[in-house]
Chains A and B, each alone.
Chain A
Amino acid sequence: MKFSINNSPKTVARYGYPDWRKKLILMLLIGSLSLLVVSLICLNFGVTSIHPRVILSILGNKAGDKTTGLIIWQLRAPRIVLGVITGAALSTVGGAFQGILRNPLADPYILGVSAGAALGACLGITLQHLTGYFFTSYLPFFAFIGAMFSLYLVYLSSKISYSANSTGLLLAGVAISFLFSALITILMAISHKELQSMVFWLMGGLSTANWQTIGIITPPTLMGCLLLFFSALDLNALSLGEEEALYLGVNTGRLRIRIFLVGSLVTAMVVSFTGIIGFVGLVIPHIARLLVGPDHRLMLPASAFLGGIFLVLCDTLARTVIAPIEIPIGAITALVGAPLFIYLLRKENK
């Protein structure tokens, strides 16, 4: 009887249930602090290394050298902020998708959003190549349209085959992904001179980061992640099974549509600027679960922080390891993430 032993009146009143709100606040504090420290450290690294004291004085607006200020403010800082937002968004969506599908292998791209975004962007690049007009800054727009189109197709085909249940949506997502991959390959063959820029969309990267981009994606991403967070209790209930969740008054049909729609929108938003960054949304939720337990009210925010930190670190590696050449960040996330994931799984099973 673990409940009655504790004599502190406050704990007795909580009946052995720890206060998750306090845990959440503590996590927000630790998370923000680590995020800040990691970001400041990563500001140091790059093609030219800049002394931390110089960075602090630039950030404190006591700037000296103009070029250095430009590198910090216009190149590295937005890149780090974009990394944080992207990592946080992909990980939160991944966690929510794993919850709604009751499947540990789910990731933010499971409904084919990634293939759609990549196809949209590659279509834009091919058009550039064929027409000779350049509209590189509009490529995110193409990518977003592609992502939305794939989502629409998934929804349509799932409606034809099954009712809008998870399996139907999943299968439709897989089918659409394959179809779009085939189309991308054809586009690559047509405009093979643009291969380099197409690979960017398939492997992802944060090099397009600027403050304008961040201004565009931050509000909807933040709102989407908050919406997912407020479905945390429903996702908890769903771990007992679809029917059990219904018995607990969770409208699972509506929950599924809400999570899929919000999650895919957030993913599309991010992927349209960064390309497909894999592995973050799959691995980070598992690490978060190992650290804070399965409760989505803690697990989703933990995923956001861990994902942000992880992606900023990966990006720093991507742009420094063989500088000035940049490695696609998707390669780094997989390279770091896969062994880490297997190690954790082994540890969990022991």
Chain B
Amino acid sequence: MTDHEHILTLKGVYFSYNHKREILSDINFYSTKGELLGIIGPNGSGKTTLLKIISGVLRPQRGEIYFLNQSLNKLPIEQIAQFISVVPQDTWVTLNFKAKEVVFMGRLPFISRLKGETLKDYQISQEAMEKTQSLSLAENNIQEISGGERQRVFMAKALAQTPRLLLLDEFTSHLDLSYKYEMLKLLKTALKEEGLTIISVFHDLNLASLASHRLILLKEGKIEQIGTPPEVLTAENLQRVYGVKPFIINHPVLQVPQVIM
């Protein structure tokens, strides 16, 4: 196995709700082990739908999805959850669980309903909370913490699921600048040291440029371009997709493109 093996491959994927308007059409891409692949595009371009297709919550009408060499199309959700985890945009928890109990739910794909959990499940949950700096929230009720704190707890839950592929949907939207920074650092470490692969939807183009190795630019359910941030974030591409022509400048330290109006 090389470092550049394709961990996820999509081939000719189409999706529509009730066979009406196509939300996604002819999606082809791969993602290599250890990379952070960003998905950008205007509202309604199919970003979140694409994440749902990968996670198995929605199934494509046509096309194939492979995780390593295994087809995901027919794989039951119970098994997909053992190697793919998701941090959604925002969720409201209807019951007032403690934060640590929510993190522990990340272990569900591995817990036998008859035998119950083991100490190892608690240990992994604890480590996930340490990594995401949410340990101090452990005893708090999930309904009573702020949106940013909840996002850290949900990140901890996703890590407790010990995924090989992590899917993020605008996970930084509620985070303060300092936590945004910490979270990016955490993800970079996870990519390098734990062999994690991340696919993340970004609303913020500049953050996408800073965080991602490669970007997918979506327009009306089709892939407009895939490539490194300098390849994708050009004034011409953005004008074609978003309809306005922005200025592109170079980040003074990191040498990646930044978009300003």
Chain B, Cβ-Cβ closest to A244: B91
Size bin of chain A's contact surface: 20 to 34
Chain B, Cβ-Cβ closest to A299: B95
Contact: A3 with B135, CB < 8 Å? yes
Contact: A249 with B80, CB < 8 Å? yes
Contact: B125 with A15, CB < 8 Å? yes
CA distance A246 to B52 in the complex (A): 10
Contact: A249 with B108, CB < 8 Å? yes
Verify if A77 is at the interface (C-beta below 8 Å from B).
Answer: no
Query: Which residues from A are CB-within-8-Å of B104?
Result: 17
A236 in complex: contacting residue of B92, B96, B97, B114, CB < 8 Å: B97
Verify if B68 is at the interface (C-beta below 8 Å from A).
Answer: no
Contact: B86 with A240, CB < 8 Å? no
For A204-248 the 0/1 string (1 means CB < 8 A from B) is: 000000000000000000000000001101101101110110111
- Which chain B residues (89-147) contact chain A, with CB distance < 8 Å? 91-97, 100-102, 104-106, 108-109, 111, 113-114, 116, 119, 122-123, 125-126, 135-136, 138-139
- Which chain A residues (266-312) contact chain B, with CB distance < 8 Å? 289, 294-295
Size bin of chain B's contact surface: 35 or more
Decide: A15 near B122, CB < 8 A? Known: A241-B92, A243-B57, A251-B77.
yes
B119 in complex: contacting residue of A14, A231, A248, CB < 8 Å: A14
Query: Which residues from A are CB-within-8-Å of B119?
Result: 13-15
A239 in complex: contacting residue of B77, B82, B85, B93, CB < 8 Å: B93
Verify if B9 is at the interface (C-beta below 8 Å from A).
Answer: no
Chain B CB within 10 A, most for which of A15, A102, A250: A15
Closest 4 pairs between A and B when the two form their complex, measured CB to CB: A249-B81, A294-B95, A249-B109, A239-B95
Query: Which residues from B are CB-within-8-Å of A237?
Result: 105, 108
Verify if A21 is at the interface (C-beta below 8 Å from B).
Answer: yes
Decide: A16 near B102, CB < 8 A? Known: A21-B116, A248-B81, A248-B108.
no
For B153-190 the 0/1 string (1 means CB < 8 A from A) is: 00000000100000000000000000000000000000
Contact: A17 with B102, CB < 8 Å? no
A17 in complex: contacting residue of B52, B97, B100, B106, CB < 8 Å: B100
CA distance A46 to B139 in the complex (A): 48
Contact: A239 with B79, CB < 8 Å? no
Verify if A1 is at the interface (C-beta below 8 Å from B).
Answer: yes
CA distance A15 to B119 in the complex (A): 8
Verify if A53 is at the interface (C-beta below 8 Å from B).
Answer: no
CA distance A2 to B77 in the complex (A): 35
Contact: A250 with B100, CB < 8 Å? no
Decide: A240 near B91, CB < 8 A? Known: A1-B135, A3-B135, A249-B79.
yes
